[in-house]
Amino acid sequence: MANSKILFTIDVEPDLHTGKYEGITTGLKTAESIFSKYNIKPILFVTSDCIKKYPEIFLELNKKGWEISFHGLTHKRFDSLSFEEKEYEIKESLRIFKKFNLKPKGFRAPQHSIDDSTLNLLEKYNFEYDSSYTPLNLLQLIFFPKKIGLWIRCFFSPRRTWQIRKNLIEKPTSSFLLPFTSLTLRIPPVSLLKLYFKFIKLLYAEPIFYCHSWDFIKVRGSRIDGLFPSSVFQEKLIRLLKWTKQKN
Ligand SMILES: [Zn+2]
């Protein structure tokens, strides 16, 4: 396959279903061993409670050149918070990041729950970019059941980096009906995945892929992980890295 520069990103938060932190203590080590073979430094969007709990892990990765950005205080959906609660989450998180000499450049809303007032606050607190929009994502209808207008706006939003506020850019994650994410890597066979990836490359000049810290561990109690385990995800991620020929 031809060269295609993918931006790899990992959302880092307590583990799905269990709320434990194995994805951080174990999963990120696995992620690092995979990505470092291809000389790729993914961007991490981290909830600040995780920074507070395991600062040394993030400081170490940051020292290695991994960007540490922001994914909420405790992974609450931003569109379910009041304006005051949103502002508190941002201010408190900036305080936590600063305590460990970290400064988040970007933000990804938990479950991509971005809205106008959150974007205004990101601009107010000098973030450089948001990465919560996902154009062409049918699956997101599940997550925006009562906000159809917002979903439509995201669905038809630009498939490239664009200026969403005067001093804030949007780096949308990629999608073609299904988001370019760990779930989409886990389920289809490799042949279908290749076809899907061709569409992604056609639609996006610089595709943005995302997965989670808990994608790199066995998630107990997850049906998806039972049927399409983390080991399958990791194998397919390696294939994707090989397809993109980013190996130096
Ligand atoms: Zn998340």
pTM of the model: 0.94
How much distance in Å is there from the Cα of 75 to the middle of ligand 1? 6
Tens digits of per-residue pLDDT, 192-232? 999 999 999 999 999 999 999 999 999 888 888 888 899 99
* Domains in the chain, CATH or no CATH each: 7-243 (3.20.20.370)
How much distance in Å is there from the Cα of 54 to the middle of ligand 1? 17
How much distance in Å is there from the Cα of 179 to the middle of ligand 1? 14
pLDDT value for 3: 52
**pLDDT of 81 over the 60 cut:** yes
Q: What percent of the chain has pLDDT over 70?
A: 96
Tens digits of per-residue pLDDT, 139-192? 888 776 667 888 888 899 999 999 999 999 999 999 999 999 999 999 999 999
How much distance in Å is there from the Cα of 163 to the middle of ligand 1? 23
How much distance in Å is there from the Cα of 2 to the middle of ligand 1? 31
Length of the chain measured in residues: 248
Residue 56: band (very low, low, confident or very high) from pLDDT cuts 50, 70, 90: very high
How much distance in Å is there from the Cα of 195 to the middle of ligand 1? 27
Structure tokens given for 8: 């790899």
How much distance in Å is there from the Cα of 99 to the middle of ligand 1? 23
How much distance in Å is there from the Cα of 90 to the middle of ligand 1? 16
Residue 248: band (very low, low, confident or very high) from pLDDT cuts 50, 70, 90: very low
Tens digits of per-residue pLDDT, 104-131? 999 999 999 999 999 999 999 999 999 9
Stretch (H or E) spanning 185: helix 182-186
How much distance in Å is there from the Cα of 188 to the middle of ligand 1? 22
- Distances in Å between the Cα of 101 and the Cα atoms of 62, 63, 96, 104 are 10, 11, 9, 10
Mean pLDDT of 61-87: 97
How much distance in Å is there from the Cα of 1 to the middle of ligand 1? 30
Do the Cβ atoms of 56 and 29 come closer than 8 Å?
no
**pLDDT of 2 over the 60 cut:** no
